[in-house]
Amino acid sequence: MHLTGWDQSRYNPRFCEKCKTFEHPSGAEVVLTMLFADVRGSTALAESMSTREFSQLMNRFYKIATHVLIQSDTMVDRLLGDEAIGLFLPGFAGPEHPRRAVEAAQEMLRLTGHNDSKGPWLPVGIGVHTGPAFVGVVGSEESTADFTALGDNVNITARLASQAGTGEILISDSTYTAAGIDLGNLEHRQVELKGNSESTGVRVIYISRE
């Protein structure tokens, strides 16, 4: 396939490069589900170990996060600092993208040890939100261009992740409703997000320890 110009996408090797749909700066408004996984207390962690040890720890996190997102047919938006970001697009993850995002978040916490009786090997909190965003390639044809999502709903997801405690998944009410799954009697919160005039309703999932 490489010889015919259909290389693997760098956003998910399960798709071809041309399946990005947008090869030049352009895009469209799409309703999608976004997942932000955030390492809690990464600054303190970095201060408590050598640079090499911290880089190895973060690489282990990136590897697990990427594996989970790829298996969920997600476009891996970026691995940046102490975050992993996945875009669950209906054209790739299917119409059940909200449910798949919730399941991916749960799996990510399990693989980082949040259900281990000894505690996680890395403290992670996750935010999941569904809504419209601009999705496409941004930048310049002459220089750097990248595939990403932009808009208020992207910001909401990032802020949910920043408020999620260790071992918590904050799922917005819009995602929970769209997912159509029964997760039992989940805690419901109204959270205040920076830059938003109204509070956002979320359901909270905890990964219980064995």
Is position 139 within any domain? yes
In this structure, is residue 128 part of a structural domain? yes
4 vs 18, which has greater pLDDT? Answer: 18
Q: What does the pLDDT look like over 85-109, one tens digit per residue?
A: 999 999 999 999 999 999 999 999 9
Number of domains in the chain: 1
Share of the chain above pLDDT 70, in %: 84
Domain that holds residue 73: 23-206
pLDDT-wise least confident of 48-62, 139-153, 182-196: 139-153
Q: What is the CATH number of the domain that holds 154?
A: 3.30.70.1230
- In this prediction, residues 65-92 reach a mean pLDDT of 91
Which of 99, 67, 102 lies closest to 84, judged by CA?
A: 67
In a domain, 130, yes or no: yes
Examine residue 176 and state whether it is found in any structural domain, yes or no: yes
Asked if the structure places residue 2 within a domain, the reply is no
Identify whether 84 is part of a domain: yes
The region of weakest confidence among 25-29, 33-37, 169-173, 189-193 is 25-29
pLDDT tens string 130-187: 999 999 888 766 666 678 899 999 999 999 999 999 999 999 999 999 999 888 889 9
- Report residue 207's pLDDT band, with 50, 70 and 90 as the boundaries: confident
At residue 26, does pLDDT exceed 70? yes
| 77/149 Cα distance (integer angstroms) | 8
Identify whether 6 is part of a domain: no
Q: Residue 40 falls within a domain, yes or no? A: yes
